[in-house]
A and B are shown apart, each in its own frame.
Chain A
């Protein structure tokens, strides 16, 4: 069956960066799109951006340009999201999901705190 397995919870200091992973199985990753989302607990969902695994082409929400960088490794069917210059406002749960959201990762909590 299809599975999107995200990396574990992160506790990072302000100003640092973090790289989140989303390892997929059960479907053809290399010709698929992967989106990333941010959700602050108790709030709605924000779309960060999307990457096409076939050629690495990306589309970002303007709000997250410079904050998030999406990449893929087709050899391991894994998608990555780098978050840089973290502040407390980046503390949230981050999800990966295929387009249009048939399959979702379990989410990963990122906490930015000194």
Chain B
């Protein structure tokens, strides 16, 4: 199985500042079709996960452009610019390249 390793475990951010979350996969997530199958989700407290970024760098519908995704074949970054109070929750990276789809252990974002 592809292992997704996230860092840090938690991050505390002052509103208006930026935050970055890293994710590393144990195998390249770049498909031969040129698409990198890494996804980012946010699970707000007591809620279902919501899709933020798909295929490494594409912003999901309705997601503020303060969120951005980047990376290579195995190293990925979610950046949140101008963090707001509503951004609190647990962020997960996931790979949807091959069975079984797997997810990182999560990064908890808190507001200072």
Footprint of B on A, CB under 8 Å?
35, 44-47, 59-63, 95, 97, 99-102, 104-107
Contacts and interface: CB of A to CB of B under 8 A. Distances in A.
A22 to B, nearest CB: 12
Interface in B31-72: 39, 41, 48-51, 54, 60-61
Interface residues of B, number: 20
Contact of A95 (B49, B96, B105): B49
A59 B100 CA distance: 9
Contact of B39 (A59, A62, A100, A106): A100
B100 A62 contact: yes
8 contacts: A47-B101, A47-B103, A61-B100, A97-B48, A99-B96, A101-B51, A102-B51, A104-B49
